[in-house]
Amino acid sequence: MSSLRATTVVGPLVAASFSAVLILSFPAGADDQGPGSSKGGKPVDEAPAGVRTTTTLPQRISVDNSSGKTSITATVKNEGTKESGGIRLLVVGFDGLTVKSIQGCDAIAKKDLPEGSNSGFSCPVGNLAAGASKSYSVDATFDLSKTGKICLPVQTGDGKKTFWQQGPVPFGTTNPSPNAPATPLLLGTDNKPVAPGGDELPRTGVGRDVLPLGAAGAALLAAGAAGLWWSGRRPQRQAG
What is the band of 196 on the pLDDT scale with cuts at 50, 70, 90? low
Show the 3-state SS of the chain: CCCCCCCCCCCCCCCCCCCCEECCCCCCCHHHHCCEECCCEEECCCCCCCCCEEEEEECEEEEECCCCEEEEEEEEEECCCCCCCEEEEEEEEEECEEEEEECCCEECCHHHCCCCEEEEEEEEEEECCCCCEEEEEEEEEECCCCCEEEEEEEEECCCCCEEEEEEEEEEECCCCCCCCCEEEEEECCCCCCCCCCHHHCCCCCHHHHCCCCCCCCCCCCCCCCCCCCCCCCCCCCCCC
Mean pLDDT computed over every residue of the chain: 77
Give the separation between CA 38 and CA 54, rounded to whole angstroms: 7
Q: What is the pLDDT of residue 114?
A: 75
Instruction: List the single range of 100-114, 139-153, 208-222 with lowest mean pLDDT.
Output: 208-222
- Given a contact cutoff of 8 angstroms between Cβ atoms, the answer to whether 33 and 58 are in contact is yes
Percent of the chain with pLDDT over 70: 67
Torsion, Cα 33 150 165 160, to 10 degrees, reads: -130
Beta bridge partners of 165: 42, 153
Least confident span in 9-23, 56-70, 86-100, 168-182: 9-23
Is a pLDDT exceeding 90 seen at residue 216? no
Q: Is the peptide bond before 168 cis (omega within 30 degrees of 0)?
A: yes
Q: Is the per-residue pLDDT at 45 higher than 70?
A: yes
Superfamily of domain 21-209: Immunoglobulins (2.60.40.10)
**pLDDT over 50 at 231, yes or no:** no
What local confidence, expressed as pLDDT, does residue 116 receive? 85
Q: What is the mean pLDDT of residues 157-173?
A: 96
What is the per-residue pLDDT across 2-18, written as a single tens digit (0 to 9) for each? 444 444 444 444 333 32
In this predicted structure, which of 119-123, 156-160, 203-207, 218-222 has the lowest mean pLDDT?
A: 218-222
Query: What pLDDT shows up at residue 8?
Result: 44
Least confident of 22-36, 127-141, 146-160, 208-222: 208-222
Residue 18 is predicted with a pLDDT of: 29
For residue 200, the model assigns a pLDDT of 42
Which residue did the predictor score with more confidence, 67 or 193?
67
179's CB contacts (< 8 A; 6+ apart) are none
pTM: 0.72
Question: Which amino acid belongs to residue 143?
Answer: D
pLDDT of 175 above 70: yes
Distance, in Å, from the CA atom of 165 to the CA atom of 151, rounded to the nearest integer, reads: 7
Neighbouring CB atoms inside 10 A of 233's CB total 17
State the pLDDT at residue 195: 56
Domains in the chain: boundaries: 21-209
